[in-house]
Amino acid sequence: MTDALEQALLSLLQRLDLISGEFEFVTDSVVRDRMSDFIRDFYIKQVAPLPEKYDFATNSPEVDGLLLDALSAYVIEAGRIADERRLGVQDRLNAFQDDAVTNDQGRSYDEYFGYWRPGAFAEG
C-alpha cells in the first residue's frame, strides 16, 4: 500500500480495532451510525470545523474521547491529502470506501461505518 489516503484509512482502522478490542460496543449500530455521521460531516462533506467533543452514543466520555481522537486524526490527515488533490465529495467518499484497505484483522471501513451508495451526497 503506497497511497497516502489508503495509509490514512488503514491507520484509522487499526486505531478503531484497538478501541473496539477493549470496548466491544463500538461496533453497535448506533455507535457506527454516529461515527458515520462524523465522517460524512467533517471529511466527506466538510460542513463544519472539527468539534472538541462529540457524542458517539457510547455512554462513556472516555470512549467518546478515544473515538473523537481517532476520527479527528483521520479527518485531518485525509482531509489535507484530499484538499491537495482537490477531491470533491464523491472522490472523498470513494477514497473512504476503499475495499482494498483492510487492517491486520481483515476489517474494512464497512465494519465500523457501513456503506453509502455512490452519489449519496451532492457535490458542493
Share of the chain above pLDDT 70, in %: 94
pLDDT one-digit tens code per residue, 26-67: 999 999 999 999 999 999 999 889 999 999 999 999 999 999
Question: Is residue 70, in this structure, part of any structural domain at all?
Answer: yes
Question: Is residue 120, in this structure, part of any structural domain at all?
Answer: no
Residue 117's pLDDT band (cuts 50, 70, 90): confident
Count of structural domains, the chain: 1
Question: Is residue 91, in this structure, part of any structural domain at all?
Answer: yes
Q: Which domain holds residue 13?
A: 4-113
Question: Is residue 119, in this structure, part of any structural domain at all?
Answer: no
Question: Is residue 122, in this structure, part of any structural domain at all?
Answer: no
| Helix, strand, coil distribution of the chain in percent, nearest 5 | 60, 0, 40
The DSSP code sequence of 11-50 is HHHHHHHHHHHH-GGGGSHHHHHHHHHHHIIIIIS--SPP
pLDDT averaged over the chain? 92
pTM: 0.92
Question: Is residue 101, in this structure, part of any structural domain at all?
Answer: yes
Question: Is residue 14, in this structure, part of any structural domain at all?
Answer: yes
